[in-house]
Amino acid sequence: MIAIALVFVYPVIRTILMSFFTIDNVVSKMSEWSFVGVSNYTQLLGTPLFRQTWVTFAKIWVFGGLVIMCIAMLFAVILTSGVRGKSFWRAAIYLPNIISAVALANMWIHYAYNANWGLFHNIFAALGWDSMAQFQWTSPDHLFLAMMVAYCFGAVGYYMLIYIAEIEKIPQDIFEAAKIDGSSGVHSFFHITLPLFKGVFKTTLTLWTTGTLGFYIWSQMFSSNRDASAQIMTPMYYMIRTTFGDMASAYTETNAGLGAAICVMVMLAAGVAFAIISRIFKGDEITF
């Protein structure tokens, strides 16, 4: 309990308190704080760029979530259907999760997306698709798409393992009985597998929401294009720039109190999201 109080409760209380002050940096003494009341919150709500970060968050949560969960589920079903080389494919798909996000982002930006000799360029050129071979992935118009493709590539394996574990918990006798009764693989998936996934859907949706609220590394790596960095800036990335500053950007001012207010807003958003998720998936889980 002492450890929890030191590493969680105290920082949360201090962050909430800081959000009502103007503070030069996070290590400033309390005697140096300037009380401003709710001005930090009103300033943030009146800043177009900050409001845009929440739009970006919503786009990542909706579109990224749909792509990742659907692909992860597809892979999980395939790898639990008796396919050969199950262990190899499971390890290969999960591999990006053990690689640093910074390293992955650099690989995508400087190799896969390179319009002159990158991976996509070579593949499309070999297929004779010249327009796609010259596609500018990291241009301002396509930067969000490029970031999401790279991020989804790295995130699918994590959720795939969760789904695999849940599918393997279902007794095979159920599927065999359904097959004997004439149920196809697709019919069994929608009428047996999915109904039994209520609990794991709640878990993965909670994990995805938490991860999206804390999304900033990929925005940082893909924001080298200053003309387009606003469209990929998330609330957490905006908070880091506000709290610690960014010499290469003129978007935000350095104010630890303003950054603390963003943290409080993120915490409130997380609380609301978790309440909604619990409401949607309320009731007893279906068991076998």
| Residue that the structure tokens 């930067």 belong to | 143
**Could you tell me the pLDDT band of residue 201, with boundaries at 50, 70 and 90?**
confident
**Could you tell me the pLDDT band of residue 68, with boundaries at 50, 70 and 90?**
very high
**Stretch 117-137: mean pLDDT:** 85
Residue-wise pLDDT tens digits, 72-103: 999 998 888 878 888 899 999 999 888 888 89
The answer to whether position 262 is within a domain reads no
**Could you tell me the pLDDT band of residue 227, with boundaries at 50, 70 and 90?**
low
Compare 188 and 8 and report the one with higher pLDDT: 8
The answer to whether position 5 is within a domain reads no
> How much is the pLDDT for 69?
92
The answer to whether position 31 is within a domain reads no
**Could you tell me the pLDDT band of residue 288, with boundaries at 50, 70 and 90?**
low
**Could you tell me the pLDDT band of residue 26, with boundaries at 50, 70 and 90?**
confident
> How much is the pLDDT for 141?
81
The answer to whether position 97 is within a domain reads yes
> How much is the pLDDT for 56?
92
Q: State the pTM of this model.
A: 0.84
The answer to whether position 3 is within a domain reads no
Mean pLDDT for the chain overall: 84
CA distance linking residue 233 with residue 227, whole number of Å: 12
| HEC-encoded secondary structure of the chain | CHHHHHHHHHHHHHHHHHCCEECCCCCCCHHHCEECCCHHHHHHHCCHHHHHHHHHHHHHHHHHHHHHHHHHHHHHHHHCCCCCCHHHHHHHHHHHHHCCHHHHHHHHHHHHCCCCCCHHHHHHHHHCCHHHHCCCCCCCCCHHHHHHHHHHHHHHHHHHHHHHHHHHHCCHHHHHHHHHCCCCHHHHHHHHHHHHHHHHHHHHHHHHHHHHHCCCHHHHHHCCCCCCHHHHCCHHHHHHHHHHCCCCCCCCCCCHHHHHHHHHHHHHHHHHHHHHHHHHCCCCCCCC
> How much is the pLDDT for 33?
86
Report the domain count for the chain.
1
Q: What are 14's two structure tokens?
A: 């201090």
> How much is the pLDDT for 253?
63
The answer to whether position 77 is within a domain reads yes
**Could you tell me the pLDDT band of residue 42, with boundaries at 50, 70 and 90?**
very high
- Cβ partners under 8 Å of residue 86, min gap 6: 79, 80
Q: Is residue 248's pLDDT more than 70?
A: no
Find the CATH number of the domain harbouring 149.
1.10.3720.10
Q: Is residue 287's pLDDT more than 70?
A: no
The answer to whether position 34 is within a domain reads no
Residue range(s) defining the domain that contains residue 54:
50-252
Residue 235's nearest CA partner among 53, 56, 64, 45 is: 53
Cβ 245 vs Cβ 254: under 8 Å: yes
> How much is the pLDDT for 283?
62
The answer to whether position 275 is within a domain reads no
**Could you tell me the pLDDT band of residue 63, with boundaries at 50, 70 and 90?**
very high
